[in-house]
Amino acid sequence: MKIEKLEISGLFLITPRRFGDDRGFFAETWSRRILADAGITTDFVQDNHSLSVKPGTVRGLHFQSPPHAQAKLVRCGRGRLFDVAVDLRRGSPTYGKWAGVELSAENGLQLYIPAGFGHGFVTREPDTEIVYKCSDYYAPECDGGLRWNDPDIAVDWGISEASGISDKDAKAPLLADFDSPFTWEGAA
């Protein structure tokens, strides 16, 4: 398993090693020991699986606030998506900045997103599935989000028009109106 730090502190790109033959492949997608050796000591408690039928479906930018903030380990189970994390940690030198990675069933890449980030994605193929681990259970009272097309964040989703935007995502607040409950602790 290869683990690389991304340009925003706390984000990691993880490339599981695949063992393949004419039947397909096998990959270890999570190892507490290997991730801990890289400094990722998150205890995951919940797995989520989402299907988006149409390409261009945007979901996000979502987060859970403290005391139920979530770190996530995200991968694509089928299809292809562009996954995005936005730094929402007050005091961070990259506050409001985003990083994105193409995740696909074919490339097997994973994105580790610590608590304190907004998370979203856009699908690139029909019937795309996203599978991710969370470090805390779903807590509706802590559920939050920012507008997916906020001009201050300016995510380049790589699409001319989004489809399947939920009312919740379309009406989410802008970064300029957001009082972040997250604080940057200078983590690597």
> Among all residues, which ones are annotated catalytic?
62, 132
Residue identified by tokens 């509706």 is 140
Within a 13 Å sphere around the CA of 67, how many CA atoms are in the beta-carbon half? Answer: 0
Cα–Cα dist 77/71, whole Å: 19
**CA R_g for the chain:** 16
Helix (H, G, I), strand (E, B), or coil: what is residue 32? Answer: helix
Residue linked to tokens 């907004």: 118
Residue of 152, 141, 20 whose CA lies nearest to 69: 141
